[in-house]
Amino acid sequence: MATTHVKEMKTLTEHLGKHQLKLTRQRELILGAFLRQEHITAEAMYHQLAKSDPHLGLATIYRTLNLFCDAGLAQARHFGSQTQYDNIAHKGHHDHLICTNCQKIVEFENEEIEQLQEDVARKNGFTITTHRLELYGLCSRCRH
């Protein structure tokens, strides 16, 4: 973790410093695990990290993932009854096409749409830091 995610680690420590928060073993551990994924739920991470640290509590994972959201490293997305925490770095400019029948997810990128989003934001006096675009429907297989 230490050598591969220097940038994200810096983003986190800067956020911590700015808000009088502390860097803990658990936060480092969770950050390392989080950055390895594109998106994950708190529950999934709980099971995944049980091997590394059997005493790591679920509440700590929720708290930490929410902290990552505050720090701008993660983004919470409510899907069904659960919350997915998206890795901002991995996400980049990928938007999603999601099949509501088989749950298949196709990533896409569209520069024209991004541009129009900027236009909309500017017209309303907003400065965009991130966005989320999800198209729900049926994939070709499930339509039949």
Chain residues in the site for DNA (CB under 7 A): 16-17, 20-27, 41-43, 53, 55-60, 62-64, 66, 78, 81-83
- Stretch (H or E) spanning 87: strand 82-87
**Pairwise CA distance, residues 115 & 131, whole Å:** 12
**Pairwise CA distance, residues 103 & 90, whole Å:** 20
Could you say which DSSP state residue 38 is in?
S
Query: Of the two residues 41 and 117, which places its CB atom closer to a copy of itself in the complex?
Result: 117
Query: Of the two residues 29 and 74, which places its CB atom closer to a copy of itself in the complex?
Result: 74
Shortest approach of a copy of itself to residue 77 CB, angstroms? 9
Contact criterion met (CB below 8 Å) for 68 and 85: yes
Shortest approach of a copy of itself to residue 114 CB, angstroms? 10
Q: Could you tell which of a copy of itself, DNA, none binds residue 24, using a CB distance below 5 to 8 A set by kind?
A: DNA
Contact criterion met (CB below 8 Å) for 75 and 67: no
- Stretch (H or E) spanning 74: strand 74-79
Q: Could you tell which of a copy of itself, DNA, none binds residue 108, using a CB distance below 5 to 8 A set by kind?
A: a copy of itself
Give the footprint of a copy of itself on this chain (CB under 8 A).
Answer: 75, 78-81, 97, 99-100, 106, 108, 110, 112-113, 116-117, 120-121, 124-140, 143
- Stretch (H or E) spanning 85: strand 82-87
Query: Of the two residues 53 and 109, which places its CB atom closer to DNA in the complex?
Result: 53
**Pairwise CA distance, residues 139 & 105, whole Å:** 9
Query: Of the two residues 59 and 126, which places its CB atom closer to a copy of itself in the complex?
Result: 126
